[in-house]
Amino acid sequence: MSSDHNDEGRRDFLMVAAGSFAAVGAAGALWPLVDQMNPDASAKALASIEVDLSPIKEGQAVTVMWRGKPIFIRKRTAEEIKEAVSADSTDMRDPQVDGERAQKPEWLVLIGICTHLGCIPRGQSTGDVQGDFGGWFCPCHGSHYDTSGRIRKGPAPTNLEVPPYAFISDTKIKIG
Amino acid sequence: MSDHSSSYVPSNGFTRWLDERLPIIRLMYDSFIVFPTPRNLNYLWTFGGILTFCLMAQIITGIVIAMHFVPHGDHAFASVEHLMRDVNWGDLIRYTHAVGASMFFAAAYIHLFRGLYYGSYKSPREIIWIFGVVILLLMIITAFMGYSLVWGQMSFWAVTVITNLFTAIPIVGESITQWIWGGYSVGDPTLNRLFSLHYLFPFIIAALVGLHIWALHVVGSNNPTGVEVKTKSDTIPFFPFYVIKDGFMVVVFMLLFSWFVFYAPNYLGHSDNFIEANPLQTPPHIVPEWYFLPFYAILRAIPDKLFGVIAMVAAIVVLFVIPWLDTSKIKSVSKRPLFMPFFWLFVITCLALGYLGAKAPEGYFLLASQLFTAYYFIFFIVIMPVIGLIETPKELPDSITEAVEGKSGKEGASS
């Protein structure tokens, strides 16, 4: 009878050990089922693109697709650059100076997605409403961005994002 | 109720044989034939039956639509139009499914407000209520996913805006959103998984409806007086009385349903969804389907992105805890004169939020949505607990029988 007490301890140990083993196994089996939903290899393969800037004239803007998102590329006029730089010291929601946002002052490269709820702001084509600050205007909930893509008015929490990009020559950039 | 012994008697050799092995006929007989139901239920109690009809209609039409739908970013929109134009009866089946979603929500909201008004969430029916809220939550997710499958402009941008809500989560928001998308933006992988889950969820809802009804049949139905069943004379059998009453209302409901399907199938939809999804152009004004408008109004009433999302989620989550927020022992609002005006103000609040959800959140509209959002939460968090403690309710009848027939003796005899 004295062995009963020992048996109980052994049984508890076996229960906990078996339970833990099953839990670890279940978690291991679950991970592939969860991870399969992440961006797949074909989506990642398109993760960087090269854009030739030579046909873009001053004051003109083009939209290219990168990772399914619109990328706004604008060759800014001297006036637009001046406006953006002179606004550097004004009070903004997401303070950033223009120099941090453009590698070369005349080229502004932005992810064209409103940081509020993901709409596409207007202001790329000539004749579009560009908002109170001459940059972009989001029609969904009324966010105004300036000529540096910074949020100046409306509900968006942050500036239009600058994607990772690098100049591979004077007239060519690689995004991503 | 659970404690009543079964009165089912198998009528022949086969049913006797079956009953000893799988008493499924006994279960049906006890649950839907002789089941003792309060004798005083009004027409608001027919919406449970109506909702069962709605779920079945959605599943049947949905299975048929899935035979023609192509869950691919390049073909989804065209396959829906193909269903509408080329498939025999395709337009009828699709409109029934689309209008059916609206009818489902209309019935669910009436059912929910019935429960709120008559205190059907109170002890001992908390579990029934909680399952009801889970079902509502799954209905919201299912309807949203189904709407996205059309892959029109409004579908696409609704998915974009709603999945972007997850980016409001600090630190991991971006990764979660990409995990949901299966890419770096809403696209083909997103559409595919939404289709897979849209097919799955109705069956989960059906299982939860089973639990909802099971829990209901353990404690029995609430009734307009809020007085629990005490004697056999308080009840009548479910068949034929409530089968007929529910059946009649299902037919009335189908009349309204058919009117929309045949005469105004697109009245509740948005014309922008007849334009194929274009990831490079956002429609000037994004509006959800009408049944989401109150929640959308709450989202936009709060100028901060994260807190807007939290408020919208909280608007549903708060429903889970109202059995414990309401301190009153009295079930029916009709017996609670002090609480009643606050209740109706809450109903008006929900309707007003629905109206404001379709308006641009600017100026007075924004201010109004903020005031109504505030009342939405004050009603649950402040008014429900406080009024229950300070009010003097009206006198309750001794029993359901007394409420129906008057006090036995004087009033009963004189009438």
Active-site hit among B30, B234, B246, B326: B246
Q: Which of B74, B154, B164, B186 to mutate to test the interface with A (most CBs of A within 10 A)?
A: B164
- CB half-sphere exposure, B53, CA atoms < 13 A: 20
| Residue A5 bears catalytic tag | no
Tell me which chain B residues have a C-beta less than 8 angstroms from the C-beta of A142: 360, 362
Strands (E), chain A: 49-52, 61-66, 69-75, 107-111, 134-138, 143-146, 151-153, 165-169, 172-175
Report CB contact under 8 Å: A43, B305. no
User: What is the average pLDDT across A89-110?
Assistant: 90
Taking the Cβ of residue A116 and every Cβ of chain B, the question of whether any pair is shorter than 8 Å is answered with yes
Q: Do B183 and A39 touch (CB under 8 A)?
A: yes
**Cβ A40–B182 below 8 Å, yes or no?**
yes
CB-CB under 8 Å, A155 with B193: no
DSSP annotation of B229: P
| pLDDT at A157 (0 to 100) | 87
**β-strand B36-38 against A69-75: which pairing, if any?**
unpaired
- Tens digit of pLDDT at every position of chain B (415 positions): 444 578 999 999 999 999 999 999 999 999 999 999 999 999 999 999 999 999 999 999 999 999 999 999 999 999 999 999 999 999 999 999 999 999 999 999 999 999 999 999 999 999 999 999 999 999 999 999 999 999 999 999 999 989 988 988 999 999 999 999 999 999 999 999 999 999 999 999 999 999 999 999 999 999 999 999 999 999 999 999 999 999 999 999 999 999 999 999 999 999 999 999 998 888 878 889 999 999 999 998 987 888 989 999 999 999 999 999 999 999 999 999 999 999 999 999 999 999 999 988 778 999 999 999 999 999 999 999 999 999 999 999 999 999 998 876 444 444 3
ipTM: 0.80
Taking a C-beta distance cutoff of 8 angstroms, is the pair A152, A143 a contact? no
Q: Which amino acid is at B408?
A: S
**3-state SS record for A115-157:** CCCCCCCECCCCCCCCCCCEEEEECCCCEEEECCCCEEECCCC
In this complex, is the C-beta atom of B179 within 8 Å of any C-beta atom belonging to chain A? yes
Token readout for B205 is 């809802």
| Chain B hits for A67, Cβ within 8 Å | 183-185
Question: What is the H or E stretch that residue A14 is in?
Answer: helix A3-35
Residues from chain A contacting residue B179 (CB–CB below 8 Å): 34, 37-38
Which of A39, A116, A120 minimises the CB distance to B178? A39
Q: Nearest by CB to B164, which of A37, A65, A118?
A: A118
Question: Could you tell me the pTM of the whole model?
Answer: 0.90
Residues of B in contact with A63 (CB under 8 A): 280
To test the contact with chain B by mutation, choose from A111, A117, A137 the residue with the greatest count of B C-beta atoms within 10 A, namely A117
Residues in chain B with CB shorter than 8 Å from the CB of A33 are: none
